[in-house]
Amino acid sequence: MGRLIKNHWARLIILTAAAYQIGSAIEGFIWPKVFWDFMTKNLNGAVTPIPILQILNLLMGLIGIAWEWPLKFVAGSTPHRSIEFRLILYPLSALLAMLLYQGTDPAIYYLIGIGVYFWAYSEGEMVCPEPWTLPKRSEYKV
């Protein structure tokens, strides 16, 4: 049996959350609603008449997909290799998703992905090490 590579697992969870966030933002354009409107109506200005929250959710979802399924200009860059940068950005994505009524499920996925990324970070995993730092075939432990 192999070892669980937690950053790959977190990557798949975040990809799912980002795709779901894009869908919820598009649905939010059609049916604008803030999740917390049962407590207060103060946040309704974020979704109507100008869809600020939906646009921010759409942008954060696109950034999440571009980062986790790396585009050519993103792949191998310092932010792409950094788990710390992900642990800073994805809570913001989760917060924006939590505010939109349609985005509560992606927010939960983001929180699970952040937890798995933190687990990987605490065990010293690296997202994509430099090619010159990889061990040679004879150095692998079996």
Whether residue 36 lies inside any domain: the answer is yes
Q: Where does the chain have alpha helices with state H?
A: 6-30, 52-68, 78-81, 83-99, 104-122
Instruction: Determine what percent of the chain is predicted with pLDDT higher than 70.
Output: 88
Q: How many domains would you assign to the chain?
A: 1
Domain that holds residue 77: 11-123
pLDDT of residue 4: 84
Q: Express each pLDDT in 11-49 by its tens digit.
A: 999 999 999 999 999 999 999 988 877 788 888 888 888
51 in a domain, yes or no? yes
